[in-house]
Amino acid sequence: MNKKLKWGLGGGALAIALGAGIFLMPQSVEYKSEQVATETIENVYTFAGQVTTVGEDATGRLLIDERDLGRVEEGDALTIYANALDTELEGTVESIADEAEALTTPGSSARYAMNVTLPETDGLRNGMTLEGSIVVERVEEAETLSLDSITFEEGDAYVYVEGTDGPVKRQVELGISDGSRVEIKDGLDEDSVLLMDEATAGGIMPPQIGGGQ
């Protein structure tokens, strides 16, 4: 991990700008390395909202993006974090509204109110902010890489693996993401994946991968 690798680019090639007499030296680029890791990875959707009632029958109201409606159903269990109390609560989806909230920003995605039941909790007050989360996908013994090791070209995902004479570009098929790591479904074995140090690195996941983060 994090081993520095350096290759000269251009194999001793040089360029002379005719008429200017400029001599360009070969360039070199530094990379960090990362091994494919085998681990459990989860795709977690999150929702923001507030406490609506407190006491024995405490409830909360969370907002869910229209793109995520198919991921959550009434009766699903949620992990809910009460920010002010620094406490995790176990909640349940009671209902999901049929009509979207009024849009406050033109062109933004529609959001729907999701009512959740909460356990009676000391210190819980109306209006306190809540963050709900639900695991919608989980893969055990998945081969994963950090998002920083992925680059994208026209919707396809690529990595650079260590070759005899330098980095070798290889296309990969991605699975789910937890927001920092991504499942590699095909295209890699146990090769070392090279990470570009500077702004040339990838790390930006297309919206269709991972979702709801």
Complete domains list, the chain, with CATH: 43-137 (2.40.30.170)
Alpha-carbon gap, residue 92 to 126, rounded angstroms: 18
Residue with tokens 């008429």: 19
Confidence of residue 193 (pLDDT cuts 50, 70, 90): confident
Which range (21-25, 44-48, 124-128, 168-172) has the least confidence?
A: 21-25
What's the start-to-end Cα distance of the chain, in Å? 27
**Three-state DSSP class for 26?**
coil
Predicted local distance difference test score (pLDDT) of residue 68 = 87
Mean pLDDT, residues 118-124: 94
Predicted local distance difference test score (pLDDT) of residue 58 = 95
Confidence of residue 30 (pLDDT cuts 50, 70, 90): low
Confidence of residue 191 (pLDDT cuts 50, 70, 90): low
Mean pLDDT, residues 105-131: 92
Q: Is the pLDDT at 122 greater than 80, yes or no?
A: yes
- Residues whose CB falls within 8 Å of the CB of residue 117, separated by 6 or more in sequence, listed in order: 57, 58, 59, 91, 92, 94
Quick one: 76 exposed, middle or buried, by C-beta within 10 A (0-12, 13-18, 19+)?
middle
Predicted local distance difference test score (pLDDT) of residue 35 = 84
In the chain, the percentage of residues whose pLDDT exceeds 70 is 76
Predicted local distance difference test score (pLDDT) of residue 13 = 39
E-only strand ranges, 58-104: 59-65, 77-82, 87-96
Residues 100 and 90: beta-carbon distance below 8 Å: no
Alpha-carbon gap, residue 111 to 100, rounded angstroms: 5
Please give the DSSP secondary-structure letter assigned to residue 10.
S
Predicted local distance difference test score (pLDDT) of residue 29 = 61
Residue in 43, 40, 42, 30 with CA at minimum distance from that of residue 2 = 30
